[in-house]
Amino acid sequence: VHQPLIAPSILSADFARLAQECAAVGAGPAGPGADWLHVDVMDAHFVPNLTLGLPVVQSLLKATDIPLDCHLMIDDPDRWAIGYAEAGAYNVTVHVEAAKDPIQLAKNLRAAGAKAGLSIKPNTPFEPYVDVLKHYDTLLVMSVEPGFGGQSFRPEVLDKARAARSLVDTGHLTLVVEIDGGINADTIEQAAEAGVDCFVAGSAVYGAEDPALAVAKLREQANQ
Ligand code: DX5
Ligand code: ZN
């Protein structure tokens, strides 16, 4: 029904070779390649890890044609998220637990030409944000506690994906339902069954011998 989107997370890539790592999941003999590149921005405050920020995203935008899906795990996204949209990120996702005015934030992101994404941590409920999500283009359901790659998938979050899917299918929301954390060959099918549209995968792609082949295989599994 929905064409699955595959978004490799460069969190598990080699940060000294980012341009090549982006190219490694592009279109090629294995298939059409990544739909989006997932870029995890962490500030060591909202999450206990530190990754990269706007200067690196600006360089990535010049280094790849794959649309960038920026996942901001940072405090005060009301202040910082707009820069990523203005730089040219395709989708900019902020955490509902960190945003002070998520509706205004979505409006600002869209006005700057980006899609607006809202993320919810595993223990954050979905229902209180249904009205807020009317202003958003993507919902990022976290299936691990944000902060690190390589953690185990938490299947209980799929209830939130199912709830979002049914509100989309009944026309109450217009959202890409995205999932992030622990997605691999063993878990992607249950996420697809729950109605997820977009699958982020870090270690399952960049930990593989052939990242492009890993993307192609995940796509095939999500399509079943
Ligand atoms: C975790 C990040 C994820 C991470 C996923 O906080 O948001 O995007 O890269 O990594 P895997 O796929 O290895 O769980
Ligand atoms: Zn992420």
Which amino acid, residue 128? P
Nearest-10 crossing angle of helices 54-63, 77-87: 20
Which structural domains are found in the chain, ordered by start?
5-222 (3.20.20.70)
Residue 101 burial (10 A CB sphere; 0-12, 13-18, 19+): exposed
Over residues 62-85, the mean pLDDT reads: 99
Over residues 1-24, the pLDDT tens digits come to 579 999 999 999 999 999 999 999
* CB-based contact 52:83 (threshold 8 Å): no
DSSP label of 45: S
| Residue nearest ligand 1's atom 4 by CA | 149
Q: Is 180 annotated as catalytic?
A: yes
The residues pairing with 119 across neighbouring beta strands, listed in sequence order, are: 95, 140
pLDDT of residue 224: 84
Nearest-10 crossing angle of helices 77-87, 102-111: 20
- Which residues, judged by CB distance below 6 Å to any ligand atom, belong to the binding site of ligand 1? 9, 11-12, 38, 40, 71, 144, 146-151, 180-183, 200-204
Whether 65 shows a pLDDT value over 90: the answer reads: yes
Over residues 150-204, the pLDDT tens digits come to 999 999 999 999 999 999 999 999 999 999 999 999 999 999 999 999 999 999 9
Over residues 102-118, the mean pLDDT reads: 99
Which amino acid, residue 117? G
Nearest atom in ligand 1 to 147's CA: 6
Over residues 204-221, the mean pLDDT reads: 98
Over residues 126-156, the pLDDT tens digits come to 999 999 999 999 999 999 999 999 999 999 9
DSSP label of 156: G
More confident residue, 3 or 44: 44
Interface confidence, given as ipTM, is: 0.99
pTM of the model: 0.98
The mean predicted confidence, pLDDT, of the chain is 98
Over residues 211-221, the mean pLDDT reads: 98
